[in-house]
Chains A and B, each alone.
Chain A
Amino acid sequence: MSISTDELRAGLDRELDLLGPGPDLVPTATARGVVRVRRRRAMAGAALAVVAVAGGALATGVVGGGAEPGGDRGRAPIASDPSPTKAEAGALDDGHVTPGEWNEVVRSTLERVLPSRYGAVTMLPTDPVRADLFATAGGRPQLQAHVGIQGWLKVEDPSRRFDDQSCAAINQARELHDCAEAAFGDGWFAVATVDLLPPGNGGTLAEGERLELPEHDAANPPEDWSYGTVLTVMNEGIRAEVYVSELGWDGIEDGGPPGISVEELVAVAQEPAFLDLLEVGAQWWYDRPPPAAMVDPDTGEEIPSIEVADQQRPPYVR
């Protein structure tokens, strides 16, 4: 470095000294960061819906009335294996599911149904934000997973419960990187896709909140979007989503799809233990405490939620 550029730096420093110290921005930045991480970690179905809307398509959740991919969806669902797992039996002993029971059932089920190369599954330690993430240990890459589950809501038109979730239909709706699907059992359908997941769109959205969607460029994704593999499993009574990505997906350095393939995730959906998990999940969806309110970091006011409180018990019975 020559003396001339040292002079440039010194001159700038002299001018900056005249400004005095800047404001303390750390508390507000932390509060906003907490909200953003929390939204990411919720990772509910809204994420994919937003991706689909960005591609000019219908949301991939529950609307639409395309041809059924297979199976008889008119009947109440049953699991393919009538004998419950040990974890499931324990969780439903008293007919209700506590948060601890649900987390343990998810953990043990993921450990049982994910390919063995990923090793054991643990729940990630609690953060200031909601922490219902699970991580594999002992294999590479390390995966993190979130299981979201819900019955169909009263507000949803039963005649339009099933969107056309086939890979072909999704591919028409948006750019699709990879997809696998299967109809199995008595009215079950599973589809797994690799998608770019937008940040901050997975959780409860504030009423009237607008999501800013950058121009989509698959070769150059926005810095804080990430690839994830998403498994959606549904039948007449319930819909579940499993989001799988590499551990730490909310960083921006890596954005590649996780190591697990869409075919492997569709196979996971057909495991009896996974269907047992969904039965516990149906009760959990009914029993779970309402999500903690989000607070606007600027005003301190609670952000109104559009989540529908008046849910109905899903007709999921053996």
Chain B
Amino acid sequence: MAGQGRTEGFSNWAEQAQQRLYRQGVLLTGDTHAARDLVQATLVKMYVAWPRIDTPGAYAHRIMVRTFLEGRRREQRERELHRSVDVVRLDGDPAHALTIRDALAELAPRMRAVVVLRYWEDLSVEQTAAALGCSTGNVKSTASRGLDRLRVLLGDAFSERVTTPTEEN
């Protein structure tokens, strides 16, 4: 992103991108407050790295999911050290109208990140693998299992529409 001052170039891009990042953050974290923190952290890292970034969109995906996953690992360690966690079980509660976001939040963090990047951001398998720093095979298998899990969680209302794409079988 040479040719522009760091602050000017970053601000121009970030003002355009932040709402999309916020939505992605909500899908990843399942929570608007956590999404705000995640986007904030991502933007700060983007600012620092800005002079070397050629493709801000791809870079933001990478930073966002990695920051999210690192934060989840830290939270997990803290939970293991300090307290037990009451896991909210969504299935088995017929009164709960399960949204797709609720179901997404039930996926393991890494699987959720794959589903969000692959199917909400519409990244290719290769782009998703690059963002997560894993193999394309890993993306394919994780995405497939993620869709299977969503199908189970969402039940009949969604299972007929969400089928695993043939490219990932």
Contacts and interface: CB of A to CB of B under 8 A. Distances in A.
Contacts of A15: 99-101
B144 to A, nearest CB: 11
Interface string B47-61: 111111100000000
B36 A9 contact: no
Nearest to A2: B165
Contact of B43 (A2, A21, A26): A26
Given A12-B101, A22-B23, A26-B18, A223 B47 contact: no
Contacts of B100: 8, 11-12, 15
Contacts of B22: 21-23, 25
Contacts, number: 125
B36 A22 contact: yes
A26 B52 contact: no
A4 B162 contact: yes
B140 to A, nearest CB: 13
B104 A30 contact: no
Interface in B53-94: 53, 66
Contacts of A9: 119-120, 122
Contact of B18 (A5, A19, A25): A25
Contacts of A40: 48
Interface residues of B, number: 45
A37 interface: yes
A29 B44 contact: yes
A199 to B, nearest CB: 8
Interface string B83-123: 00000000000000001110010000000000000011010
Nearest to A27: B11
Given A2-B165, A22-B35, A30 B122 contact: no
A1 B7 contact: no
A291 interface: no
A30 to B, nearest CB: 6
Contacts of A23: 22, 36
B15 interface: yes
Interface in B1-46: 5-7, 10-11, 14-15, 18-19, 22-23, 26-27, 32, 35-36, 39-40, 43-46
A19 B31 CA distance: 11
Contacts of B45: 224, 252
A248 B52 contact: yes
B48 A21 contact: no
A202 B56 CA distance: 27
Interface in B151-169: 158, 161-163, 165-166
Given A7-B162, A252-B49, A30 B7 contact: yes
Interface residues of A, number: 38
Contacts of A5: 119, 147, 162, 165
Nearest to B115: A8
A32 B120 contact: no
A24 interface: yes
B48 A37 contact: yes
A216 to B, nearest CB: 15
Given A5-B162, A33-B10, A19 B32 contact: yes
Interface in A34-67: 34, 36-37, 40
Interface in A214-233: 223-224
Contact of B10 (A19, A30, A224, A252): A30
Contacts of B47: 29-30, 32-34, 36-37
Given A25-B40, A29-B14, A33-B48, A8 B165 contact: no
A253 interface: yes
Contacts of B6: 37, 127-128
A8 B150 contact: yes
A251 interface: yes
A25 B15 CA distance: 9
Given A21-B19, A23-B36, A36-B44, A128 B7 contact: yes
25 contacts: A5-B147, A5-B162, A5-B165, A8-B119, A9-B119, A12-B27, A12-B101, A16-B23, A16-B26, A22-B22, A22-B23, A23-B22, A25-B22, A25-B36, A25-B40, A26-B43, A29-B44, A30-B47, A32-B47, A33-B48, A36-B47, A127-B5, A199-B48, A251-B52, A252-B45
